[in-house]
Structure 1
């Protein structure tokens, strides 16, 4: 009998390369076949390397790489478009500001071009927001700005040329009326500007109401306005305005001339509270030679803020009390005034038992050079101002009328009681001062700019 040896292998491809001695005897069995042959069985576990899965991962990785590159290129493209958008949006903003600066500019605007550009901007911002698939405050703000511009353009387009011509004509008429009113008021004074060759105030003219304050808020009842009382060369027409909803003094805004004041087109706004706290209290301040004089908060003292250098200096007023204010408002303890003779401050002391004291300020030394005591109790007084070295003091008569009832002549050291009534625009006012450059009284009356012209007695 022939012995036939038959080896049957069940070998996984992963084991095909292993030598026989490394296969292990535990997986080898033998048996005798039906024909008497000897059959050996070798079993190896299937731990095949997952090549097909690796290939799938590689394909996915390559696809992701392509997708990332596409998104990067898309973001670069959007970045370029966004830069162009911001530049065009800036140009569009400038064009709209030109349009809004006056009615005569409306007809110069290409409305259709603007509307097309705005629609393009809206579409681009919407596309950007969708690409990032998230809400961004920057994109929302940009979109709202563009949408608001679209509304403005639609409103402006609703005006036709004839209507705009009517607006321009009426605007010109209003300007002429205002100029005539101011010219008529200028003729009211009968004394040469800067001269004291007169016998004092004879009467005060009607109140000239310019307009509501620059904040367009009737809540800004504490404040003042006027011209520089000793302007530097080139600033002869400059006006200033300062106001608040309380007695705190912080901001002052300047305007190149009266019409810029009316149009609320300011030159600069100064802030007393930046790196240092230079804020004050009250609202009886003046501007002289581009310096703002006001009541300092801490310490209680008189202060001057140089609008050119934006620096502050302050001096304590000897014996001045912070306990006595004017009748209409609290914290008006130091009241600055200026006239043809120079710079002054009124206040009260404990020693005077609340009676009004007048001090003359040496501007160079920024200190009092002379002091005058009056017999008027400060808390019964509504305000005071100086003309040619004479202190004029006011009081309330009723809701419509005010009265200059007292004077103190520093030249003769003589006081007197008089009666010069004048009208008020509204009942309470917080500011009243005289400007020697135009011989006008400037009043801040419940948030409104009010002025008066003065007629003097013959010398």
Structure 2
């Protein structure tokens, strides 16, 4: 196995920014996929080097190749005629060259014995020889030109054979077969891109302000498990004394304020750290450590379970308060709960949850105080914690559930509106959703990827 290292900046958000995962891989059949870090606006650019779309049009491509082949054949015929004429003239010139060399040799003999010759005859012979002398380098160049023409003829013949083979290959496939090949390659391309789901956080840029609405505190989200065609947005204003969830069919409807449906939950929520995952809303029931799972499809609570030993009702909140004791979130690896317990001295506990039963599958105790954390989010099984909810905040600490190790970091996050009351990662959009003092914002993340491939070359 060979590891390829890629830095990717995937700010891809539904209809607003488009979906653009990318990778540096080496798939077969000549397809290559590359990614650049970002464009001038900080968004991901994906470049795919693949066969042109016009290749799917057999008639147009065949016509172009046929015209090119005819031109080369015409050139080849012209060179053939030129070559025959050149060979004929060349034989004559070779005879002439031989005679000139013989004449020069005889002249030298005569010159050495010029005392025995009449002066007049000698001068005439010398003059004729001087006239013929410049022809010798001309003949040498002519031989070189003749050689080049022969080489050119051979190259044209080889190129003609290559083009004929290409024309035969294209003619071997009909339009439908080419379409199937293209679809197959596109499927492989998507599979390659899906390998980019996990990586280590390197940088946060933005935010992009999507909308300004509601109170200072709240939450908004999309479902990371939804299909690409499902771009619903859910909106939950305030951190308490509210049970109304507003649904929008798309981001554009959300921006325009066009609601598609409202849900009246059976219990008030606490805090702003809710999550929608696989069609259900998970939230902390007010004045309790109970997690509620509410199905949007059925419009009822399907599961509720207490999170054992978890502090609640501002016992262990984030720095801004707001009953933010229990933070529910999702990433590429599943559903998580972030909270603190007396047993862990008020430090953060990470628990992975079963989405159906809300049972704790596994837990990790960190050494970072929940009350000193501004916000937190999970990416690929690693918890990232900010040191404040105010201006100057940065990602200061991370804990990997894979290795059960922590790391201190220094990744700034621009708190544009001075008060962050919600910050959550969406694995499908690969962006951070934030509620920033009554502004619904998105942050771009830069992830460092390690992709394992089977390519040994």
Scaled by the length of structure 2, the TM-score of the pair is: 0.55
Larger Rg: 1
- Structure-1 residue corresponding to 2:393: 402
Deviation, 1:271, is: 1.2
In the TM superposition, 1:296-335 aligns within 5 A as 296-297=285-286, 299-312=288-301, 313-322=303-312, 323-335=315-327
Q: Which whole-Å CA distance do the structure 2 matches of 1:366 and 1:421 have between them?
A: 33
Q: Which runs of 5+ in 1 are unaligned?
A: 1-176
CA contact (8 A) 2:240 2:268 kept: no
Q: Which whole-Å CA distance do the structure 2 matches of 1:424 and 1:242 have between them?
A: 21
In the TM superposition, 1:36-435 aligns within 5 A as 185-187=42-44, 195=195, 199-213=199-213, 217=214, 220-231=215-226, 233=227, 236-244=230-238, 246-272=239-265, 277-297=266-286, 299-312=288-301, 313-322=303-312, 323-396=315-388, 399-435=390-426
Q: Which whole-Å CA distance do the structure 2 matches of 1:198 and 1:304 have between them?
A: 26
CA contact (8 A) 1:339 1:434 kept: yes
Deviation, 1:400, is: 3.2
Q: Which whole-Å CA distance do the structure 1 matches of 2:310 and 2:282 have between them?
A: 16
Q: Which whole-Å CA distance do the structure 1 matches of 2:17 and 2:330 have between them?
A: 26
CA contact (8 A) 2:421 2:436 kept: yes
Deviation, 1:224, is: 0.8
CA contact (8 A) 2:16 2:251 kept: no
Q: 1:370 to 1:249 in 2, by over 3 A?
A: farther
Deviation, 1:373, is: 0.4
Q: Which whole-Å CA distance do the structure 1 matches of 2:444 and 2:333 have between them?
A: 19
Q: Secondary structure at the match of 1:282?
A: coil
1:274-333 CA deviation, whole Å, 9 max, x = no partner?
xxx422211100111121111012543111111111111210011111111000123111
How many pairs does the alignment contain? 271
- Structure-1 residue corresponding to 2:438: 447
Deviation, 1:204, is: 0.7
CA contact (8 A) 1:227 1:287 kept: yes
Q: 1:346 to 1:417 in 2, by over 3 A?
A: same
Q: Secondary structure at the match of 1:396?
A: coil
CA contact (8 A) 2:375 2:388 kept: no
CA contact (8 A) 1:205 1:453 kept: yes
Q: Which whole-Å CA distance do the structure 1 matches of 2:271 and 2:281 have between them?
A: 13
Q: Which whole-Å CA distance do the structure 2 matches of 1:193 and 1:378 have between them?
A: 36
Q: Secondary structure at the match of 1:259?
A: helix
- Structure-2 residue corresponding to 1:64: none
Q: 1:180 to 1:384 in 2, by over 3 A?
A: closer
CA contact (8 A) 1:195 1:340 kept: no
Q: Which whole-Å CA distance do the structure 1 matches of 2:197 and 2:278 have between them?
A: 24
Q: Which whole-Å CA distance do the structure 1 matches of 2:421 and 2:409 have between them?
A: 22
Q: 1:247 to 1:350 in 2, by over 3 A?
A: same
Q: 1:384 to 1:234 in 2, by over 3 A?
A: closer
Q: Secondary structure at the match of 1:262?
A: helix
Q: Secondary structure at the match of 1:284?
A: coil
1:186-217 CA deviation, whole Å, 9 max, x = no partner?
4179997654566401101121011212xxx4
Q: Which whole-Å CA distance do the structure 2 matches of 1:442 and 1:188 have between them?
A: 21
Q: Secondary structure at the match of 1:206?
A: strand
Q: Which whole-Å CA distance do the structure 2 matches of 1:193 and 1:331 have between them?
A: 39
Q: Which whole-Å CA distance do the structure 2 matches of 1:189 and 1:425 have between them?
A: 28
Q: Which whole-Å CA distance do the structure 2 matches of 1:180 and 1:279 have between them?
A: 35
**Which runs of 4 or more aligned residues in structure 1 lie more than 6 Å from their structure 2 counterparts after TM superposition?**
180-183, 188-193
Q: Which whole-Å CA distance do the structure 1 matches of 2:327 and 2:380 have between them?
A: 17
Q: Which whole-Å CA distance do the structure 2 matches of 1:307 and 1:178 have between them?
A: 24
CA contact (8 A) 1:249 1:282 kept: no
Scaled by the length of structure 1, the TM-score of the pair is: 0.55
